[in-house]
Amino acid sequence: MKRLVLLACLLTPVCVHAQEWPGWKRLREALAEQQLEISRDDPRQPHVEAVGRALLARQNPRPPWEFVVVDSPKVDAGCGGEGTIYVTRGLLDLELDDDELAGILGHEVAHGMMHHVELNQQPRLQMEQARLDQQKALLEVEELERQRSRLSPEEFARRQKELARKALELQERIAIIQASAKKVELNLRAQEADADSIGLQLARLAGYREDGLVTALAKVQEAGGNPQNLAGYRHPPVAYRLTRLRQLLQLLKALSPPQSPDRSPNDQTSPGGTSPRP
């Protein structure tokens, strides 16, 4: 029940165009560093986007999400932030079926909905600002030394004391940021577990098989997919994720109500008789 409530809270309307979002800047920067580009002419691009849109069908009818293919042989998928999802040519070359692709995309959409990328980047951004403030403080110390001969001993001592106070505050701030960064590292596995669970439910609600992510990850594992994605983020070991997902599927199966006898187990259509799939 808690999962369903969380999922309902995540499906909120948004109206900013996707490419205006910070996630796109992060993705472009990551691709530029590795001299990679988005492949707009990949023939599989429309289908990737259609599956992604199906996962978001219960959200605003005009969500600012975009699903793109990156021209890289690396087996990878990722989220640059809310509204920004990519898969690589290498991943699509594994010939994932729709259920498997929906599982992968659902996982990344869940990361975006829960703002994991933004949360994880906060300590790094805060540390960058702290380093800038540190450089500024050093310049202030140098300037005070240059002015020493023109200041009274009392004024010099006052300013020196003020700079010492600022330095102590900055040191404490850096310690807090470092502790926050360590906490983020500890939370990464929990975030992956949440994204797997929510992504699985997004796929199910869109009419895809619940085990699509499991079979997709098995293909990734067989292909020797690198756990570190294009943005430098490291996923937990695939074997660990597969074990947890299979346990989750068994639990969901045990909790699911019996299927209506007048519907085939393979029937993917909605009660109205139309398929939610692209």
Give the pLDDT confidence score for residue 113 in this predicted structure. Answer: 85
pLDDT digits (tens, 9 = 90+) for 21-77: 666 777 777 788 788 888 888 999 999 999 999 998 876 645 478 899 999 999 989
Q: Which amino acid makes up residue 216? A: A
**92-96, 220-224, 226-230: least confidently modelled range:** 226-230
pLDDT at 240 over 90: no
User: What was the pLDDT predicted at 101?
Assistant: 96
pLDDT at 141 over 50: yes
More confident residue, 247 or 269: 247
d(CA 102, CA 109): 10
User: How far is 64 from 83, CA to CA, in rounded Å?
Assistant: 6
Contact residues for 77 (Cβ-Cβ < 8 A; gap 6+): 85, 86, 87, 88, 91, 104, 105, 107, 108, 229
For the chain, the domains span 2-117+193-254, 119-184
Residue 8 pLDDT: 36
Residues 6+ apart with CB under 8 A from 265: 259
Mean pLDDT of the chain: 77
Q: Evaluate if residue 262 carries a pLDDT over 50.
A: no
Q: What was the pLDDT predicted at 95?
A: 92
Q: Are 92 and 45 in contact (CB under 8 A)?
A: no
Burial class of residue 61 in the structure, from the number of CB atoms within 10 Å of its CB (0-12 exposed, 13-18 middle, 19+ buried): exposed
Give the model confidence (pLDDT) of 92-124 as tens digits.
999 999 999 999 999 999 988 888 777 767 667
Question: Within a 10 A sphere around the Cβ of 38, how many other Cβ atoms?
Answer: 16
On the question of pLDDT at 6 being above 50, the answer is no
Q: What is the pLDDT of residue 40?
A: 82
pLDDT tens for residues 143-181? 888 888 888 989 888 888 888 888 888 888 888 777 776
- Computed from CA positions of residues 196, 45, 11, 84, in that sequence, does the dihedral angle turn out positive or negative? positive
The pLDDT, as a whole number, for residue 107 is 92
